[in-house]
Amino acid sequence: LITVRELYKHPEEHLGKEINVGGWVRSLRDSKAFGFIVVSDGSFFETLQIVYHDTLPNFAEVSKLSVGTAILVRGTLVSTPQAKQPFEIQAAEVTVEGTSSPDYPLQKKRHSLEFLRTISHLRPRTNTFQAVFRVRSLIAYAIHQYFQERDFVYVHTPLITGSDCEGAGEMFQVTTMDLNNIPKTEDGRADFSQDFFGKATNLTVSGQLNAETYAMAFRNVYTFGPTFRAENSNTTRHAAEFWMIEPEMAFADLDDNMCLAEGMLKYIIRFVLEHAPEEMNFFNQFVDKGLLDRLHNVLNSEFGRITYTEAVKILEEHNDEFDYKVSWGCDLQTEHERYLTEQVFKKPVFVTDYPKEIKAFYMKMNPDNKTVAAVDCLVPGIGEIIGGSQREDDYGRLTSRMDELGLKKEDYDFYLDLRKYGSTRHAGFGLGFERCVMYLTGMSNIRDVIPFPRTVNNCEL
Ligand code: 4AD
Ligand code: MG
């Protein structure tokens, strides 16, 4: 079988020749002596038109086909310079592989994204989701290529872990214990010592702590895998299961971190514009009208940079426009992040040096003793897509920060060892993969960029 992609990429090699294609019927039109079938085979964003005549032995059967049917077609590819599509197939034979029952939900009309979310097993057959999930696949490929070209080692960090990297307590527990009969310790807490791993475990919220150990051996590494957060945030940009890319570099500081992040995002944008032009034009036309202009502008300018303290000064002047008022020390909300990147900078911006109280224990303390060497990258339309930092590499400062926060040092022995045996400055970040897909496609809900979304009250399929 030849793919529709191949026909579009190299039509001259197939025009006038007999070819075989397979695909699913998107729409049909028929009249007495002939008819048209539009099929998609998923290999390419464009569809393929089949023309058939009453010379087909099974003309009656073919005229009655319904949307969604899987067919095989043998026929000749002919060019159609007057028509919308560049060519069509004149069918000599149409074989029905599998009929589609008349209650097929994807009849030819526009369906809302909300409705399509209720049929996540069928939605990849629509234009929008064909485009989204091909671009998602390409972004993943581009990310690997970016890091591999720079000799970063891909590390597979575990999904089940005993630690809480971000210290936010937003973890899904993993246990084999009978939930109706959990043994208790003397002080009345759940006792996991008899559990599978002999201790309490959870799904990882980040591979960073493990990645740091490999950065101290390979210098430059990255992870790319699923992460889990039991955040009770029912928003358009939070998922309970999402993918994260976490590079970690030894002998690197916050500035190196920002250069790597900016280079990565620009690389991904260029890659997708080059490899998925049809899909990107579709998004620009039907999903987000300014998308292509915006992405081209990103390629032609440098990301903005501002400290948290400077950002708060700007935001405080606009407090009357915010639901949640800003003052130094507060965590920035999505509305503030979007204001900075959409109104102030009008491009991606790095915000650095946040108050230590609102950031994780592992971030390097700045000389002011109040802020840490953290960086978030904010983009228009979304807000934060990257969170990162330079790591505290000093044993004494790290342990005293852990004491302040009441973290149990014995849970972090491996992490502290890195500060005992050849410690060096190092930095890394986490890119939220779904937020990155949203940014590049203009899709506005995280549920529409992950094949089977897991969000509050939703774990279908
Ligand atoms: O800012 P976060 O929490 O940073 C970390 O996890 C660090 N350990 C990363 C590192 O330095 N190696 O998360 C990183 C990114 C966020 O910027 C956001 O894009 C994404 O992960 N993210 C989510 N995406 C979807 N749904 C959620 N619930 C997310 N939580 C974070
Ligand atoms: Mg963050």
Looking at ligand 1, which residue's alpha carbon is closest to its atom 2?
387
Write the residue with the smallest CA distance to atom 21 of ligand 1.
432
Q: How confident is the model at residue 324 (pLDDT cuts 50, 70, 90)?
A: very high
pLDDT, mean of residues 8-29: 97
Model pLDDT for residues 245-301, shown as the tens digit of each residue: 999 999 999 999 999 999 999 999 999 999 999 999 999 999 999 999 999 999 999
Rounded distance between C-alpha atoms, residue 282 and residue 286, angstroms: 6
Q: Which residue has the higher pLDDT, 126 or 460?
A: 126
Question: How much distance in Å is there from the Cα of 376 to the middle of ligand 2?
Answer: 7
Q: Which of 203, 242, 446 to mutate to test the pocket of ligand 1 (most atoms within 8 A of CB)?
A: 242
User: Token digits for 96?
Assistant: 């029905």
Cα–Cα distance for residue pair 410/209, rounded to 1 Å: 15
* pLDDT-derived band at 163, boundaries 50, 70, 90: confident
Label residue 273 exposed, middle or buried (CB < 10 Å: 0-12, 13-18, 19+): middle
Amino acid at 46: E
User: How far are the Cα atoms of 131, 433, 458 from residue 227, in angstroms, in the given order?
Assistant: 24, 10, 17
Q: What is the mean pLDDT of residues 4-20?
A: 97
DSSP readout, 254-293?
HHHHHHHHHHHHHHHHHHHHHH-HHHHHHHHHHT-TTHHH
Q: Ligand 1: distance of its center to the CA of 135 in Å?
A: 21
Q: What is the pairing mode between strands 426-432 and 383-390?
A: antiparallel
What's the whole-number mean pLDDT along residues 26-49?
A: 95
Share of the chain above pLDDT 70, in %: 100
pLDDT above 90 for 167: no
* Residue 286 one-letter amino acid: F
Distance (angstroms) between ligand 2 centre and the Cα of 444 equals: 19
Residue 210 has pLDDT above 90, yes or no: yes
Q: Which residues line ligand 1 (CB under 6 A)?
A: 165-166, 206, 208, 229, 231, 238-239, 242, 244, 246, 384-389, 428-430, 432, 434-435
Q: Does residue 165 surpass a pLDDT of 80? A: no
Instruction: Compute the distance from residue 315 Cα to the ligand 2 centre, in Å.
Output: 19
Confidence at 411, pLDDT banded by 50, 70, 90: confident
pLDDT tens for 298-322 read 999 999 999 999 999 999 999 999 9
What pTM value is reported for the model? 0.96
